[in-house]
Each structure stands twice: as C-alpha cells, then as structure tokens.
Amino acid sequence: MKLPSAFPLALAAAGLATATGLRAENPPSMNQTYGLVIHGGAGVILRQEMSAELEARYRDALTQARDAGYAVLARGDSSLDAVVAAITFMEDSPLFNAGRGAVLNADGICELDASIMDGRTQAAGAVAGVHHIKNPIRLARAVMEKSEHVMFTGDGAETFARTLGFEFVPNEYFQTELRRRQLEKAQQLEAGKKSAAALHERVTFATVDDNYLIDQIKHGTVGCVALDQHGNLAAGTSTGGMTNKKFGRVGDSPIIGAGTYASNATCAVSATGWGEFFIRLSVAHDIAAQMEYRQTPLAAAADATIAKVGKLGGDGGVIGIDRAGHVAMSFNSPGMYRGYRLSTGAGAVEIFGPAQ
C-alpha cells in the first residue's frame, strides 16, 4: 500500500486551562492546574496493521507511564521528578525506542541519547551515545544537577556516571529481537538505496509487509512535558535514535532547543521524528519563540512548527504544555503514541492520527 505523502496536520488537544482549584486530596499549592503530556514516538503507525493485542499493550504502557508521572505531580513533587518518572517507565518498557527496546545502530548495538530541561531555571542536561546506562534520562538529569556542563557524550558520559554510582547494564540488556529484525530490514533496503532521503521514503512508505515489520524503524523516541503544582515546567526526551545510524550520529533528542526545551516564560516541549529536520529547525525552541515573541497560543505554535518540518521534508511530532495547563500534541506522521492527564480531570491516551 502506498500512503499519501501528506497527512492532515496535527491533532491539537488544547484549551483545558480553566482554573478549577485543587481536588481535596491534593496538598495546597500556588498553581491552579497541573498535569503532563507524554509521547512514545511518532511514525507510520497504522490502525489496520496493528493487532488489537498490540494496541492494547501500547495503550496500557502509555497509561502506566503517564500515570506514574501524574502521581508524582499529584503528591506535590516537581515537574522534573514527574518527567523522569514517566520517561524511566518508558525506557524500561521494550515497546519504545528508548532504554530497553531501543533501535540498533549500524554496528548492531544500542546507542542512547537523552536530555532534560528545567523551565524554572532553564538549567539543562544531556547525554549522547551512551551504551551501558540503564536509564539515560537520569544521567541527563545528573549532568544538569551535578556538573557545570550541559552535555556529555559517549565514554566521557559513562565515566561521569561511574563517579556517581550509576547503574550500568551490558548493551545486550537494551537489545530485542524485533529491533534486530528491523535493522536487518533497514540494511537490506539500504543496499538498494540512492540517498538518505530515498531510504527514508522507502522505509516510511514501503509496502504493507515492510511497514508491518518496521513501522517504528525510524521513530519511537519517548518524551514527557510537565507542569507541577508550583507552576514550574519541565521537559525531557530519551531515544535510541534511528535504526542503522552510523558514525556516532546524534539526532535532535539530546539537543536542547531541538528535541527538548522548557521555560516557565513560555512552555515545555519534547519532540520525536526525523531528527535531522528537528535540529535544523530548532523545533522545540521555535515553538517557545512563537509564544514569547508573538504571543501565539501553544497549540497553534506547535502546529506551525510541525508544518515547517513537513515543508522541509521531515516528519514527526511534538508534545507541549504551558503554565496555564494548555496542552499540544501535534504531528504530521500517520500516528504518534501519546497521552496526557490534567488535574482538571481531562486526559486521554491515543495512538492514531485523525486521518485514520
């Protein structure tokens, strides 16, 4: 089956910021609304190709990740803690392209990237190309809180982790049979390719058969954005990057301003998609900039930025939340694993795009 090349842009679940006050079980706080949004990657995720059983597994994992983060917020803890809780859950699940279940690079190993940003202080931390850190999002947070730098890569990042007593795992811990088959398929497709764009085209819009096996060959990154009861925003992203990546390739996920951004002045954003495009367009910061300089509402800003990604030839999506509790989930791929939950009672877990 050939997919249409342009899908209707974006679902924007917005406008849920009514100040309802806190529920009785919540501790007193300064903030009227709190909540979070998560994603588990965007890509060729097709309703007709996903079995009811697999869909149920994804919905369950997304719900558990979302609720793990929400529980942190509900007890009055920070948006940073909530982001780490939700992402850690998805890193530990083999369903997502982060931590265990991450995609394999061209050498057949998992190479992980992650970043986090604190909207209150605009402090940030990131790691790229780590091979043995069980939960890269935690190491990104340690870079932010326990070093005077923003990003560490590869062996250096792992040496830093060792000084802090981080949990190390063999690379095989991350690797799964499905990802091995996806790598084989990607390498077969590559053997006949002419350019990176042609490969992407073939991988993304291949036959039903191919899609069935490789629907997440490119995407599956996880992310979370949160607003806590104190009115502070935070964002985080974690990924194995893209299947068959080479030469130490790093995508947008660990790049502050591209894959992750947070500022209490505007919003918190986490991205997923074809990372090269997200880097070139500084996607996460572009959304915040529209809010800051033009007072564009979050959902409209997210849609506009994703439209720019599409125009340049890229695909993927973003999630965002602002200080009033407006949320955005915008994407130009057929689907994006996503969910949100707010203290207003609003919430949902979704997989497919509006066109399906």
Sites of contact with ligand ASP (CB under 6 A)? 41, 97, 218-221, 239, 241-242, 251-253, 272-273, 275
Q: Which is nearer to ligand ASP, 238 or 343 (CB)?
A: 238
Name every residue whose Cβ is closer than 8 Å to that of residue 244 and which is 6 or more positions away in sequence: 104, 105, 106, 183, 186, 187, 190
8 A C-beta contact, residue 145 and residue 128: no
Q: Which is nearer to ligand ASP, 228 or 252 (CB)?
A: 252
Sign of the C-alpha dihedral computed for residues 291, 296, 300 and 301 taken in this order = negative
Q: Which is nearer to ligand ASP, 97 or 332 (CB)?
A: 97
Q: Is 260 considered catalytic here?
A: no
Strand, helix or coil at 196? helix
Shortest Å, Cβ 74 to ligand ASP = 28
The greatest distance separating any two alpha carbons of the chain, rounded to the nearest whole angstrom, comes to 61
Shortest Å, Cβ 25 to ligand ASP = 36
Q: Which is nearer to ligand ASP, 42 or 299 (CB)?
A: 42
Strand, helix or coil at 96? coil
Angle formed by the axes of helices 154-163 and 136-146, nearest 10°: 70
Q: Among the options 33, 204, 221, 239, which is catalytic?
A: 221
Shortest Å, Cβ 308 to ligand ASP = 16
**Which letter does DSSP use for residue 172 in this model?**
G
8 A C-beta contact, residue 169 and residue 143: no
Phi, psi of 134 (to 5 degrees): -60, -45
Shortest Å, Cβ 72 to ligand ASP = 24
Question: What are the catalytic residues?
Answer: 221
